[in-house]
Amino acid sequence: MKYILALLLSIPFFISCSDDEGPQNFLERYDNSVWEINFDGVPLVYNKFHNNESNPIVEWHKNVNLNCFYFFSIENAGGGLIEVSNNRIIIEIPHPGTTNDYRNLTFTENGNTINLKVEVFENGISKSVVNYVLNRSSFKPQNVQICNNN
């Protein structure tokens, strides 16, 4: 009888231990991670993801002539997140001064890398697509010289 009582009392414990949260989405999984885009083997663009729907990514673009970096924030560019899923995010960034021109940035998980598709739209029609591969980076943004925007 003691064993049956112990079994009945332990059932609520095991049921309450289940994980109902499910898998993490893209932003949750890559929160605070930094990724680089290489051009001819030289890393020139760094992307840092944030689990923040209003500002999911920030970028640093290296100016090799001035040995400094330009900083870009999706939030400051007027962009917005239009999709978050388990393995990708899509961000839309309007072209300044226009109403129907914009870029879509699609970041898709691909094993140990992230694929980036940049699609440019003019008057709502796709005009060009460029693809990049991002690799995880040890880049430390707090240690860089920011370029003057003058």
Say if 32 falls within a structural domain.
yes
Say if 8 falls within a structural domain.
no
Say if 39 falls within a structural domain.
yes
Q: What is the pLDDT of residues 27-53, one digit of tens each?
A: 999 999 999 999 888 889 999 999 999
Say if 104 falls within a structural domain.
yes
Structurally, how many domains does the chain consist of? 1
Task: Report pTM.
Answer: 0.81
Degrees (nearest 5) of the Cα angle 137, 132, 105?
A: 100
Say if 11 falls within a structural domain.
no
User: pLDDT above 70 covers what percent of the chain?
Assistant: 85
Say if 9 falls within a structural domain.
no
Whole-Å CA distances, 148 to 62, 65, 69, 71, 142 = 12, 13, 9, 10, 16
DSSP-derived letter for residue 146 is B
Q: Which residues are paired to 48 by β-bridges?
A: 34, 58
Q: What is the mean pLDDT of the chain?
A: 87
Say if 2 falls within a structural domain.
no
| Domain enclosing residue 76, as ranges | 21-143
Report the CATH number that the domain containing residue 28 is assigned in CATH. Answer: 2.40.128
| Residue 87: φ, ψ to 5° | -120, 10
